[in-house]
Amino acid sequence: MKIVVVGTGYVGLVTGACLAEVGTDVICVDVDVQKIENLKKGILPIYEPGLDEIVERNFKKGRLHFSTKLDEAIVRAQVVFIAVGTPPGEDGSANIKYVLQVAETVGKHMNGHIVVVTKSTVPVGTAAKVKETITKALKERNANIEFDVASNPEFLKEGAAVDDFLKPDRIVIGVESESAKNLLHTLYDPFLLNGHPILFMDIPSAEMTKYAANAMLATKISFMNDIANLCDLVGANVNEVRKGIGSDQRIGSRFIYPGIGYGGSCFPKDVRALIKTGEQNNYQLRILSAVDAVNDDQKKIVIQKIFKHYNNDIRKKTFCVWGLAFKPKTADMREAPSLTVIKELLQAGAKVQAYDPVSMHEAKHILNGSISLCEDAIMATENADAIILVTEWPEFRLPDWETILDNMKEHVIFDGRNIYNPEEMKEKGFIYYGIGIR
Ligand code: NAD
């Protein structure tokens, strides 16, 4: 099967590489010339465990190609996946202009039947706009070519994207024709050997499923953060509460870990975009407005604990920040809680020295010399007054505490992800602060 994937970010590159891995012929297209040149040389634009091997193998086998020319790629395609960014507009709604740009190019250059599949996260009604845009472009060139649109939202998680794509929990596809359904079923069959379902539905329901899934996960996190903050005030231990509720199968133990808020390129923007869709339909999604507000405040919860500990004066204090990526196993710093924490520390006159196992390159670019970036976790503790654990990378779990204690000026730790045992940390000589635990 001949596939074109447009956009070579987290979703597009993983989709393209994994589809090539099962034997299809894939062209990955992007407008970013540098990205495409680098990919041709085997340099990946993102850190994603296992992705480099799959890209290299399929590129060498001649099944995976990279190009900046969508007009040329489109000519031989049976299926086109649109996986470009849908960044938030100023009012929080999803900006679908890149998706529609791709649709226009497809309409201008296609020369045979194509199934155009939206994989980007897009509001309900976007596939209909894609269809309208292609139809208009075909009309302008007096071309009478049939095509199908479909919606295939992506559920991969950064840090486990390859595994999620190769062995998905489920595949959701919105279609409006039997032929598109059959073609996409054939394409996805190799990924369903684990017996997990492929769910065909109408297009608006597929578009809504993606937002509902992310909104539900964000809700679990904000709910638990709210409970953790109350635990702090009433003297309960949220770790015990979490285990207590998580063993109820109706609730489940995943996604109920409190911390300093969710970040990344999806949850914050998708929650806000769904709230906006509600508003556009005169419906207020009250739960999601609270989820978003709780998350904004939660990113500052560690800062509040820091100010309280230092009586509101952190000038001349040096903070060691462990973890900059929005979560472990990714370099992605979009909407990362670390950025909120660092900004507040700097504004209050403190010094920051930070370390992250993989996002140092991003950090250099984003933080632009405003903090010291250290080569390793231990170095970042030198002469620090306190450690702030922001991202729970495995290497922070059991570091060389003896050297760290020697390195530090004072022994205070703010554990933004509750990864340490408070009693053990106190025994080592730290003043310990967690989220919802003592
Ligand atoms: P990204 O920012 O990593 O990559 C998007 C790519 O699209 C960029 O390389 C950009 O250059 C390219 N692009 C933009 N306009 C283009 C055009 N007209 N033609 C060709 N290429 C173009 O984005 P991402 O994280 O891969 O997300 C893509 C979409 O998938 C978004 O809608 C996002 O919400 C959704 N999504 C993301 C994830 C995730 O974990 N990152 C998971 C599921 C869904």
Residue 10 Cβ < 6 Å to ligand 1: yes
Looking at ligand 1, which residue's alpha carbon is closest to its atom 28?
85
Asked whether the beta carbons of 209 and 236 are under 8 A apart, the reply is no
Q: Is 281 exposed, middle or buried (0-12, 13-18, 19+ CB in 10 A)?
A: exposed
Query: Would you name the residues annotated as active-site residues?
Result: 266
Residue 417 has what pLDDT? 97
177-186 CB contacts, 8 Å cutoff, 24+ apart:
177/148, 179/148, 180/115, 180/148, 180/149, 180/150, 183/78, 183/79, 183/115, 184/79, 184/115, 184/117, 184/150, 184/152, 186/1
User: What's the N-to-C CA distance of the chain in angstroms?
Assistant: 57
CA distances from 208 to 92, 152, 203, 349, 436 (A): 17, 11, 9, 44, 34
86 pLDDT above the threshold of 80: yes
Half-sphere exposure of 407 (CA within 13 A, CB side): 19
Q: What confidence tens digit (pLDDT) does each residue in 120-179 have?
A: 999 999 999 999 999 999 999 999 999 999 999 999 999 999 999 999 999 999 999 999
Q: Percentage of residues in the chain with pLDDT exceeding 90?
A: 99
Query: To test the ligand 1 pocket, which listed residue (30, 122, 262) has its Cβ within 8 A of the most ligand atoms?
Result: 30
Residue 8 Cβ < 6 Å to ligand 1: yes
Q: Work out which ligand 1 atom sits closest to the CA atom of 45.
A: 9
Residue 101 Cβ < 6 Å to ligand 1: yes
Q: Work out which ligand 1 atom sits closest to the CA atom of 119.
A: 30
Residue 32 Cβ < 6 Å to ligand 1: yes
Residue 332 Cβ < 6 Å to ligand 1: no
Q: Measure the CA–CA gap between 245 and 256, rounded to whole angstroms.
A: 9
Average pLDDT over every residue of 227-251: 97
Could you count the other beta carbons within 10 Å of the beta carbon of residue 216?
Answer: 12
CA of 366 to the centre of ligand 1 (A): 19
CA of 12 to the centre of ligand 1 (A): 7
246 pLDDT above the threshold of 90: yes
Q: Measure the CA–CA gap between 153 and 147, rounded to whole angstroms.
A: 19
CA of 386 to the centre of ligand 1 (A): 37
Q: What confidence tens digit (pLDDT) does each residue in 321-354 have?
A: 999 999 999 999 999 999 999 999 999 999 999 9
Looking at ligand 1, which residue's alpha carbon is closest to its atom 38?
11
CA of 209 to the centre of ligand 1 (A): 18
CA of 60 to the centre of ligand 1 (A): 25
76 pLDDT above the threshold of 90: no
Q: What confidence tens digit (pLDDT) does each residue in 191-223 have?
A: 999 899 999 999 999 999 999 999 999 999 999
CA torsion through residues 186, 191, 192, 197, sign: negative
Residue 366 has what pLDDT? 96
438 pLDDT above the threshold of 80: no
Q: Work out which ligand 1 atom sits closest to the CA atom of 102.
A: 18
Looking at ligand 1, which residue's alpha carbon is closest to its atom 10?
7
Residue 11 Cβ < 6 Å to ligand 1: yes
**pTM for the model:** 0.95
Of 381, 94, 19, which is closest to residue 372 (Cα–Cα)?
381
CA of 48 to the centre of ligand 1 (A): 15
Looking at ligand 1, which residue's alpha carbon is closest to its atom 18?
98
Residue 84 Cβ < 6 Å to ligand 1: yes
Q: Measure the CA–CA gap between 125 and 425, rounded to whole angstroms.
A: 52
DSSP annotation string for 349-409: T-EEEEE-SS-HHHHHHHHTTSSEE-SSTTGGGTT-SEEEE-S--GGGTS--HHHHHHH-S
- Mean pLDDT taken over the chain: 97
Q: Work out which ligand 1 atom sits closest to the CA atom of 157.
A: 40
Q: Percentage of residues in the chain with pLDDT exceeding 70?
A: 100
Residue 23 has what pLDDT? 97
CA of 415 to the centre of ligand 1 (A): 32
Q: What confidence tens digit (pLDDT) does each residue in 294-327 have?
A: 999 999 999 999 999 999 999 999 999 999 999 9
